[in-house]
Amino acid sequence: MKRILALVLALFCLLPAQTAHASPMQLTVPSAVLMEKSTGSILYEQDAHTQYEPASVTKVMTLLLVMEAISAGSLKWDDMVTASPYACSMGGSQIWLKENEQLSVRDMVKAVAVVSANDCAVALAEHVAGSEAAFVERMNQRAAELGMENTTFLNCTGLPAQGHLTCAYDIALMSRELVLNHPDIREFTTIWMDTLRDGTFQLSNTNRLIFYYEGATGLKTGYTDTALYCLSATAERDGMELISVVMHGTTSNDRFESAKSLLNYGFATYSLTPVYPDQALAPVEVLLGEQSSVQPITARECTILLEKSKAGSVTTQLTLADSVEAPVEAGQKLGELQVYVDGELTDTIDLVAAQEVPRLSVGGIFKRFLSTLFLQQG
């Protein structure tokens, strides 16, 4: 009997270790979310919709609007930005801009991304929108467009302001928008150490994951006495980029270790898996076309986010037309490729014509008829 009890106790002792292995490591922050960039899928969340002050993680939106202005052509990297008295008065993290000092957009973005410079953030906001207030209106409008339902911005820096709030999930949304559509931001968010002002001013990244975490690509730290320690951390391995957001950490170490635990969990548990048809795509017959057939191809690449344990559970089902009548346009739908994981439909990709096939003219039809007739007689 004692042996049986001892065995039961031993089994119970093993259970916590198994549970910990199946989920992310214990987080020491109250609010967190882990998102995969390309799909926007949430891989893990913990109290992700509770509002907190974001501190300088606010600048993810500031950088997003600046990058969108550059992409739209209304702002250029070499444009010179003049520091206003208001921008120079920001305090907190800064590069101590002097009134009327000019730096390029590139240098100001570098200062915001690497050392979280409040003075540069405001100078950029004023340059883009005319004033910080006008820029903040754009920030809130963009937040609404991205579905950031628990966010209200009152400034472009994250300096303390009553009612300036967001949540981990919303931060992940804007972080994804930035890294997905403006990958050039990595030029700045991956800098560990650099300089400004012709090498006379040293910069050192506030995100120490850039220094020691494999695959780290950014993104933005934040801290105030009321927001505590916040972080939106991005990293990429094997073609998959993850966004780990943690908020309201008690210490700087809490935010970095919790973000690292989330990233480790994501990379260990998930992968982006390319999917291909189980069989070769046979040419589709074209009736009355200048070519007798057209080659179908997938309309887009298919990559699915998959738990690594389910790597062998992906199957595909092909539906393809036997024939199609000319004219055929390039990109015309010819069928579908359905993707299943564990028997459940996960994605559907159109199969389309790789090239156009014009319709035969009346003369062409007659010529083909004669050719076919002569072949039969021969």
| Catalytic (active-site) positions | 56, 59, 116
Checking DSSP bridges between strand 284-287 and strand 323-325, what pairing results, if any?
Answer: parallel
CA dist list (Å): 67 to 104, 106, 219, 269: 14, 11, 14, 32
| 57-88 burial: b if 16+ Cβ within 10 Å, else e | bbbbbbbbbbbbbbeeeebeeeeebebbeebb
CA dist., res. 270 & res. 237, Å (int): 11
How many Cα atoms occupy the beta-carbon half-sphere of 74 within 13 Å? 11
CA dist., res. 81 & res. 377, Å (int): 82
Structure tokens at 289: 């076309």
Amino acid at 280: A
CB atoms within 10 A of CB 323: 12
| 216-224, strands of its sheet edge to edge | 42-46, 31-36, 240-249, 228-237, 216-224
**Helices and strands (H, E) in the chain, number of each type:** 11, 18
CA dist., res. 106 & res. 216, Å (int): 21
Residue 246 host element (H or E):
strand 240-249
